[in-house]
Amino acid sequence: MICWLNGAFCPVEQARIDPQDRGFLLGDGIFETMLAVDGVVRRAPRHLARLAGAAELLGFFAPFSDNEILAAIGRLLQENGLQQGRAVLRLTLTRGGGARGLAPPPHVTPALLLTAAATSPPPQSMRAIVSSFVRNEKSVTSRIKSLNYLDNIMARREAVQNGADEALMRNSTGNIAAASAANIFVVEDGVLSTPSVGDGALPGVMRSIVLAAAAELDIPAREGPVAIEALTRSSEAFLSNALIGVCPLVEIDGKVIGNGAAGPITRKLRIISKDRE
Looking at residue 12, its pLDDT comes to: 95
Which domains, and CATH codes, for the chain? 2-118 (3.30.470.10), 126-274 (3.20.10.10)
Looking at residue 277, its pLDDT comes to: 76
Looking at residue 141, its pLDDT comes to: 94
Looking at residue 111, its pLDDT comes to: 97
pLDDT, tens only, 102-144: 999 988 999 999 999 999 999 999 999 999 999 999 999 999 9
Looking at residue 276, its pLDDT comes to: 82
pTM of the model: 0.94
Looking at residue 163, its pLDDT comes to: 97
Helix boundaries (H) for 29-91: 44-58, 66-79
Which residues of the chain are under the pLDDT cut of 50? none
Distance CA 77, CA 88 (A): 10
Q: Calculate the alpha carbon distances from 101 to 61, 236, 260, 275 in Å.
A: 21, 48, 51, 45
CA 244 to chain centre: 10
